[in-house]
Chains A and B, each alone.
Chain A
Amino acid sequence: TQLLEQSPQFLSIQEGENLTVYCNSSSVFSSLQWYRQEPGEGPVLLVTVVTGGEVKKLKRLTFQFGDARKDSSLHITAAQPGDTGLYLCAGVGNDMRFGAGTRLTVKP
């Protein structure tokens, strides 16, 4: 059973488009991490959000933690082929739980 549901599972878009991916749970987390995994590589941490309602920006990526600390979203503006990868969220509480990920493909 996945404690963290990520949607969509797959997303294929053209370069320059905007997109949002979601990470939802019925559990409350003390923090939530987002990782990106490129083909043939291990996941790499993008950001950690800690406070309910928190918004963090990393260049064209905007991360938001839900007010109740149960969900999070990642918005990418003007996607580029270099954004292609698997985006994983991980909720931190008494342990760490990963979602199944959103596989993003950005076509030139």
Chain B
Amino acid sequence: DVKVTQSSRYLVKRTGEKVFLECVQDMDHENMFWYRQDPGLGLRLIYFSYDVKMKEKGDIPEGYSVSREKKERFSLILESASTNQTSMYLCASSYWAGWTGELFFGEGSRLTVL
């Protein structure tokens, strides 16, 4: 069974803290993605990666960075968390190049920044 695992389901952090969200996939997929999901706004793409050490900005990269040192792992980093980054964060992976393939999502990480 294919699986995308996000390391933390729930996190509570304080403003200014550094936050790491980890995502691991076991499907040998080339592409990995980080989305944030907010009510009424749907899923918005933060960053994606189509290869190890490669990254591309999505629609809302400000305040975030990413790291992909290994094919199976894609990390989202909030250098200095702010309250407007309180959200549900979803990691996804896909096999096919480009945007045509199915996205496999993790269960999500709900981050609260106080």
Contacts and interface: CB of A to CB of B under 8 A. Distances in A.
Interface in A7-35: 9, 30-31, 33, 35
A4 B107 CA distance: 23
Contacts of B81: none
In this complex, which of B4, B35, B42, B107 has the most chain A Cβ atoms within 10 angstroms of its Cβ? B42
B107 A88 contact: no
A40 B99 contact: no
A44 interface: yes
Given A42-B107, A44-B105, A2 B100 contact: no
A31 B90 CA distance: 22
In this complex, which of B44, B92, B105 has the most chain A Cβ atoms within 10 angstroms of its Cβ? B105
B92 A42 contact: yes
Interface residues of B, number: 18
B32 to A, nearest CB: 13
A98 B43 contact: yes
Contacts of B97: none
A34 to B, nearest CB: 11
Interface of A: 2, 4, 9, 30-31, 33, 35, 40-45, 48, 88, 90, 92-96, 98-101
7 contacts: A9-B40, A42-B90, A42-B107, A44-B105, A90-B103, A92-B100, A98-B35
Interface of B: 4, 35, 40-45, 90, 92, 99-100, 102-103, 105-108
